[in-house]
Structure 1
Amino acid sequence: MIFVRSKRAAERTLASVTGFIEKTLKLKVNKEKSKACPIWWTSLLGFSYYLTQGQVKIRVDRKAVNRLKATVRRITSRTWGVSMAHRLDKLNRFSAGWVAYFGLADSPKVFDEIDMWTRRRLRQAQWRQWKTARNRATNLRNLGIEEKMLGSEGLGGTRHWRTSKIAPLELGLNSAYWEARGYRPFKGSWSRRRPA
């Protein structure tokens, strides 16, 4: 990846570098994968790029986020009959490797979005594990949710993804709840890898 200021300069540089690689180094350049384009049109190894205040910055490519979500969906599937502790252990192992790879990205918003979405996936799985309306209400009471709030929400429904967004669950199964049970947020792990 070579960054220059104009399309004309990019095309000239691409031709020059291609000539050097093929004529001097005797290597073959894949013309289909080689191109001159604005940095925000391309990605490499899960990263994409953007320009801000005259500087090129790195972010996590949207395709990489989609692949992450596919993995998190499997780990947090409400039909996977494992304990929450086992589920969180699997999730933490995956997130540690993912953040280690993408830690150099300048994408705080992306890591925030991933954490919010992952916690909602976990709420959905926890809701399924609690099974009955009575058990759900008891657990939410134990988490400090007021009785009037419990009465205003349907706690016996089977639409788990929709229910994972209702106020009693968001308040009771908040970020502190999950971190107390061992969940390591993507954003927190990413922040610790940033230079001071």
Structure 2
Amino acid sequence: PFFANIMLDEVDKELEKRGHRFCRFADDCNIYVKSKKAGIRVMASIRRVLEGVLKLRVNENKSTVDFVTRRKFLGFSFYFAKGGANIRIHEKSYKRFTNKIRKLTNRNKGISMEYRVYMINQLTIGWINYFGIAKANAKIPKIDSWIRRRLRSCIWKQWKKVKTRGRNLIKLGLPTYKAWEYTNTRKGYWRISKSPILDTILNNKYIENLGYKSISKRYQLIHNS
């Protein structure tokens, strides 16, 4: 980014001189104009500066004229709503994030629950701190719930033996007869993680006591500040 800022300072000055709205980070730049015709014209002129003056090569695969709602910039995208334009988290950013969570909550990963939760918190806090400015009120709670469900699935797998599961369920308040009946279920880990009993016994408070920091709470803190 440091060398890109030095090299592309000339481009910034040219865009400012022409009164264009733009946003640039290192060599990634979006220029906002009112029409496709204007976009084609501006792209051609900036290309002349980049290739003719600065002797830089333009990445043809990433450079195009398009509607702002179709483009991704630094993990974000735009959408229009009542009152004007807003920023949201791009779908690819969600996908990368959830893929990382899947790896950390892989039931076959032989790590302690304490370390697993620690690593999840490291990832989620940084992710929310970055994307917290975006509008994501609908999706963040769903992801939060999904992470807790994956943790419940990991816990059930770690308890492993019927006796261990039964004892732990009894300790957590489930009646003895119900606990032993439940431990013999043939449901898979993912399916049982959403069952009413496990959802109640290993509730949000239980997951929180393991050290998990809710991304919904973190998002509201960052987004509303």
Q: Return the TM-score normalized by structure 2.
A: 0.74
Q: 1:10 to 1:83 in 2, by over 3 A?
A: same
SS at match of 2:78: strand
Distance 1:27 1:66 in 2: 32
Gaps of 5+ in 2: 1-29
Distance 2:144 2:224 in 1: 21
User: Bigger relative contact order, structure 1 or 2, given CA contacts below 8 A and separation 6+?
Assistant: 1
CA-to-aligned-CA distance 1:149-186 (integer Å, 9 cap, x gap): 65885644361111111111112222221112210122
Instruction: Look up the match of 1:96.
Output: 125
Q: Does 1:76 align with 2:70?
A: no
Select the residue among 14, 19, 29 that pairs with 2:58. 29
Instruction: Look up the match of 1:12.
Output: 41
CA-to-aligned-CA distance 1:55-100 (integer Å, 9 cap, x gap): 2222222222222122212211111222211111111112122222
Q: Does 1:122 align with 2:151?
A: yes
In percent, how many aligned pairs have the same letter?
35
Deviation at 1:30, TM superposition (A): 2.6
SS at match of 1:127: helix
Distance 1:149 1:32 in 2: 60
Aligned length, in residue pairs: 196
Is the 8 Å Cα contact of residues 128 and 218 (structure 2) preserved in structure 1? yes
Select the residue among 195, 199, 205 that pairs with 1:176. 205
Deviation at 1:112, TM superposition (A): 1.4
Select the residue among 121, 132, 141 that pairs with 1:112. 141
Structure 1 residues 58-73: aligned runs within 5 Å: 58-73=87-102
Gaps of 5+ in 1: none
SS at match of 2:77: strand
Is the 8 Å Cα contact of residues 169 and 201 (structure 2) preserved in structure 1? yes
Decide which structure has the larger Cα Rg and report it. 2
Is the 8 Å Cα contact of residues 48 and 60 (structure 1) preserved in structure 2? yes
Larger mean CA deviation between 129-138 and 180-189 belongs to 129-138
Is the 8 Å Cα contact of residues 133 and 155 (structure 1) preserved in structure 2? yes
Q: Return the TM-score normalized by structure 1.
A: 0.84
Distance 1:176 1:5 in 2: 50
The two structures, once aligned, show a CA RMSD in angstroms of 2.6
Larger mean CA deviation between 159-168 and 22-31 belongs to 22-31
Select the residue among 177, 181, 187 that pairs with 2:216. 187
SS at match of 2:211: coil
Q: 1:32 to 1:127 in 2, by over 3 A?
A: same
SS at match of 2:220: helix
Larger mean CA deviation between 50-59 and 5-14 belongs to 5-14
User: Which AA in structure 2 matches 1:159?
Assistant: G
Larger mean CA deviation between 138-147 and 176-185 belongs to 138-147
SS at match of 1:108: coil
SS at match of 2:138: helix
Q: Does 1:2 align with 2:31?
A: yes
Q: Does 1:85 align with 2:114?
A: yes
Q: 1:18 to 1:148 in 2, by over 3 A?
A: farther
